[in-house]
Structure 1
Amino acid sequence: MPDEMTGGCACGRVRYTVKIANDDAYLCHCRMCQRATGSVSVAFKNVKQADVAWEHQPDWYDSSPIGKRPYCRECGTSLGYQYKEGSENMDLTVASFDDPSRFRPRHHFGAESIQRPWLNTDGLPEYKSSDYDVLVNKWIEATGMMPE
């Protein structure tokens, strides 16, 4: 029996619930996804369109002759990718899930555009947001606390 998971945009205007059958996800490195998200790759979870229930419909960007992308016009969150025709599936961005920790990358797509230096970052120093005093002080001044 599939699990139901929730997700949405940064400001909370666009929310969804989706049935999830497994933990498989993938990284897309194609230039269209790089440009659409402003990132070197985007983590996607492929789902059935019929299994996605939008509490508030996303806005849609007509990103190419073959595809469109759901997003929030208020905060700019990229929520996925969908072929215009011929597929019962669509992709949701892994980071838009309320708890993305479940998913595991199973393959790379758009490998012709992989930015290799960004694939394996093991060994680079790691810093927590909460250890950066400038950021902490700005959050506390603005809201009284650090966000989760």
Structure 2
Amino acid sequence: MSEPIRTGGCQCGAIRFRISGKIGRPSICHCRMCQKQFGGFFSALVTAPEDGMEWTRGELSYFQSSINIDRGFCSNCGTPMTYRHPGGLELAIGTFDDRIDLQPQIQVNHEARLPWVEKIFDAPVHTDPDFYSRQEAIISFQHPDHDTETWPAKGFRA
């Protein structure tokens, strides 16, 4: 059985990719560089295949975060997309159109995690119905989670 075709891209749609090969193990990284790149508590990444990875729209911009590592992002919308190191290329799980089967299987740099990160999902869930009805009224300019013939997609701003 062949691997499924996977697609993804940045938030605005200026950069898109397609993968036809077997991806690696999804992971979470707690290092400070990943926290800063993603502006969050950790990064969630999966290894891209050596063959079968293609960029189908746009080009990444890169920030060299250390001597042998650079991090790719969309210069248009700022979406963090890649972590490139001597061992290969990692893609941000959040950039995949379908992420349902990309649950991280390992944590790295665990000693650098924020001490409260394991408790964040114990926090109360916001259930105010007015909040959610206001969210539904937001007009999104985010690229849809599928490939489009053109960019920007009709009805979306660049």
TM-score (norm 1): 0.80
Q: Deviations over 1:51-94 (max 9, x none)?
A: 310012212222211111111001000001001xx43x210000
Shift in CA distance, 61/29, structure 1 to aligned 2, threshold 3 Å = same
- Alpha-carbon distance in 2 for matches of 1:64, 1:130: 45
Shift in CA distance, 82/23, structure 1 to aligned 2, threshold 3 Å = closer
Q: Deviations over 1:99-148 (max 9, x none)?
A: 11111211111112111311243432223797515843761xx56xxx99
- Alpha-carbon distance in 1 for matches of 2:14, 2:51: 21
Unaligned runs of 5+ in 1: none
Number of residue pairs the alignment of both structures matches = 140
- Alpha-carbon distance in 2 for matches of 1:129, 1:35: 31
Runs of 4 or more, structure 1, over 6 Å off, are: none
- Alpha-carbon distance in 2 for matches of 1:45, 1:74: 23
Structure holding more strand per residue: 1
Give the corresponding residue for 1:25: 26
Structure holding more helix per residue: 1
* Percent pairwise identity: 24
Give the corresponding residue for 2:16: 15
Give the corresponding residue for 1:68: 70
Give the corresponding residue for 2:118: 119
TM-score (norm 2): 0.76
